[in-house]
Structure 1
Amino acid sequence: MKLAVVGYLMVAATVVVFLTLSPTSRRLGRHLHGGRRLGHKHAPFDPLVGKMERRMEEERSGGSTDENHHPMSSSSTTSWDNSTVDLSSDDTKEEEGEEEYFKDIKGKLRLNITMRLLTMFPLIDKDPKDGFISLKELEIWNVERAVERLNYKTLKEMRRRDEDGDGSLSLFECLHQFSLKNLESNDMTPGQVGWWKEQFNNADVDGNGFLDLHELNDFLNPKDSENEEIQVWLLREKIRYMDDDRDGKLNFVEFHDHAYDIYKNHAEYEYHKKDIPKPEQKFAELDLNFDKFLTAEELLPILHQLYPGEITYATYYAKFLIHEVDGDKDGKLTINEMLNHEEIFYSKVFEEEFDNSDDDDDEYYDYDDYDDDDDFRDEF
């Protein structure tokens, strides 16, 4: 019976992916006025969709994430930063219960998204449980989904790379694309050994020469890391692409020409446009030692605007949903508002910023050499 259910759900997974990538869902969000294009692929709003995508990914990989071949087996639970990857339930918990969310329409399986939203609403509406979903509740839900996806990807890499099965990765296991001899190189060119070694050492908080699951998560997902050494490393990389005179820091002209628009574009998700400081004001605010230059350390307060990661985008996605679905503009969602816009919750990409002003914005350019952590993982 279990095998039959798993087979059914694998077919259903294909349906879910089709749904989230369908032309209808791709169109959602494109009608907004005056906002800059963002085009970020966020974690699925529905955890069932996320689970189905993981099943498909593991099926395509031919079982490369098989839990039985790793010391973190199906009986274990791994936690970090108050987030949990429960391996005992990821692919088996409530499998039979999941079947009820799919309906057969003329011989084709379809996810019953109305039933899914009715199921999820009380799970999101928790603080307070008042029959409405606030922005805060929606942000918490979306961040949980983003962390879930980050954790899964990190665990997958740990299983794939951990050749000796000790639950941690050595430098050689991480940088398998280089020979042992090449690992002695200190070439700091991006993508070369020295560049990767610096990031490995930043992530290796305890300095034991190995990355545990938490450290590997920081290594693979630097934009979402709370490790300040990694954050500074990211900002140095950002400066390197903006630093016209190659002095390792930003003067006002470099900040104005290369960094400010990136900051402003993402800050508009968090603040009303009138509350965002002008370039001169922001530069002066960041220039803590008043030397008229900005170092990587001084850019830390705007890290998440310059380098938004999965978690930052999860909060942006929550604001996007409120803006699109909140019909009476009271700042919260009812179940009826969600059901009246149910397809938007299954869109894979939100592509435009909601407009906080009547002015049209200029084209958005991002000087980001690693604009997507998936690219970072592909290099890895």
Structure 2
Amino acid sequence: MSGSTSAGRMKTLSVLLAVTLCSWLVTCVPTQEKKDRIHHHKDLSDHKHDDSKDFQYDHEAFLGKEEAKTFDQLTPEESKERLGKIVDKIDKDKDGLITSQELRDWITRSQNRYIYENVNKHWKDYDKNKDDKISWEEYKSTTYGYAADEEAFYDVVDKERYRQMMKRDERRFKQANKDGDLIATREEFTAFLHPEEFDYMKDMVVTETIEDLDKNGDGVVDVNEYIADMYTPESDEPEPEWVNTERQQFKDHRDLNKDGKLDHSEISHWIHPHEYDHADLEAKHLVYESDKDKDDKLTKNEILENWNMFVGSQATNYGEDLTRRHDEF
């Protein structure tokens, strides 16, 4: 009777642990690979870039689409005041001059604002000691604590799989953590969670992509592994035409050295294709159009004098349609 009771308790415990694990995974999950592996530099606005007609493209590029809508509702005076606060944020080295690189960094951040907002939303889940940083130990404990430490979980999850995922996350965390102290700032933690959006993390994305696709462990990706990432055939089902097209794509455009496999360089060329860096082009455009003394840098006054290109405004419906806080910056 006692053995039966003990077994029943263990079964109940396993069920409770499974439920707890599922709940835990909703908010604190290991980083996951992306099926959409090609990360094109997206354009910065849906509007046509034609400054002879309007500056809407520049507004959305500089501010992001949603924030540009907010500025559209401000008076010119308030728009310029908020632009001045933004310029102070852009000037990272506080030398009073804005370079095209600093502008590019700002534009990139504006375009990825939704990512930063999501990180901020869940920041407190990881920052256990409330020091506004997240250590590897904090992340590991929050994400893997149960799976790593509770023996009962071994009946519910694949222990080895979680250990491998933890190793991979630790490697990525170290890459994102620029100073090597294994304590991430918000910027570094964002790079850890969204490496595809950061230039210095692109090599890590390539490495992880190879690991995801390379099923036989030879360090390269053959055509069958490449196809398997996109298509799993049913039994006795003929391959769809699009799969044949992808095989030809592999042969003609992915396998650059024609050896039948994709190495690190070829994978990089595939998922990070060489194309225009829209943020860089827009930053240089804004500098060119606002640089009165032609020193290839902008002062705060030069930006404010050309404020309408950067942010713009309209006086109509001011106050009635303004829905966002004015003190965001």
TM > 0.5 fold call: no
Structure number with the bigger relative contact order (C-alpha 8 A, sep ≥ 6) is 2
The structure number with the bigger radius of gyration is 2
More helix, by proportion: 2
